[in-house]
Amino acid sequence: MKVIGSTIKNPEISEIIDILIKSLSDPFYENQKGLNVLLKTTFVHYIDIPALSLVVPIIEYALKSRDSEKKQDGARLIGTITTLIKDSKDILPYLDALLNGLLIALNDPVSEIRSLAAKATGVIAKKLSRQNCDPLLNRLYSVLNNPDSTSIERAGAA
């Protein structure tokens, strides 16, 4: 982790690297600390691929968590992080992990989590080309068109 951390060019991420590594090494106890420090960080520089390799697993864990606060923080971070990526190609290796987490959050019973996940999904869709968004859109359309989908699932997909 320290080797990856040494290649990060984003100065804001470099300053909090130790907290992020702790959050990755013990997500059950440390994930919220990683989320909090990322949310409190004022980013002024683009986020590079090595920084994403540390940040995305923290967000993914939060989105898959049962904890509502973690899910909300994870969805907020996706929007922030996505806008800070200079080239949309940089997010492609992490797209499946982020979209799977967002799909879980879009089906959450808490409406605020669904709303934040929908906004984050929109930010990712704006950043990516149509071709890269097709798998996500197809999943959402299939939920909307499935008569067996629950009202919560339809609300999240909408």
Alpha-carbon distance 127 to 88, whole Å?
A: 6
pLDDT exceeds cutoff 80 at 5? no
Instruction: Give the CATH number of the domain where residue 75 resides.
Output: 1.25.10.10
* Cα first-last separation, the chain: 38
52-101 pLDDT, tens digit each: 989 999 999 999 999 999 999 999 999 889 889 988 888 888 888 888 88
Q: Which domain holds residue 126?
A: 2-157
How many structural domains compose the chain? Answer: 1
CB 48 within 8 A of CB 84: no
27-57 pLDDT, tens digit each: 999 999 999 999 999 999 999 888 898 999 9
> What's the sign of the alpha-carbon dihedral 24, 85, 62, 142?
negative
Q: How many CB atoms lie within 10 A of CB 136?
A: 19
Q: What is the pLDDT of residue 149?
A: 81
Q: How many CB atoms lie within 10 A of CB 79?
A: 17
CB 105 within 8 A of CB 113: yes
